[in-house]
Structure 1
Amino acid sequence: MRELIRTTDPTLIPFVTALLAGEDIDCFAMDVHMSALEGSIGILPRRLMVRDKDLFLARAILRDNGIDFEE
Structure 2
Amino acid sequence: MLEVMRSNDPTQIAFASALMSGEGIEVFEMDVHMSVLEGSIGVLPRRLMVRREDAHLARAILRDNDLPVTE
TM over 0.5: yes
Q: Aligned residues, how many?
A: 71
What pairs with 1:18-33 in structure 2 (closer than 5 Å)?
A: 18-33=18-33
For structure 2, which runs of at least 5 residues remain unmatched after alignment?
none
Q: CA deviation at 1:70?
A: 2.9
CA RMSD after TM alignment: 0.8
SS in 2 for 1:70: coil
Q: CA deviation at 1:63?
A: 1.1
TM-score normalised by the chain length of structure 2: 0.94
- Decide whether the 8 Å contact of 2:6 with 2:68 is kept in 1: no
The CA distance in 2 between the partners of 1:45 and 1:65, in whole Å, is 19
TM-score normalised by the chain length of structure 1: 0.94
Q: Relative to total residues, which structure has the larger helix share, 1 or 2?
A: 2
Partner of 2:37: 37
Any runs of at least 4 consecutive aligned residues in structure 1 with deviations exceeding 6 A, and if so which?
Answer: none
Partner of 1:3: 3
What pairs with 1:30-69 in structure 2 (closer than 5 Å)?
A: 30-69=30-69
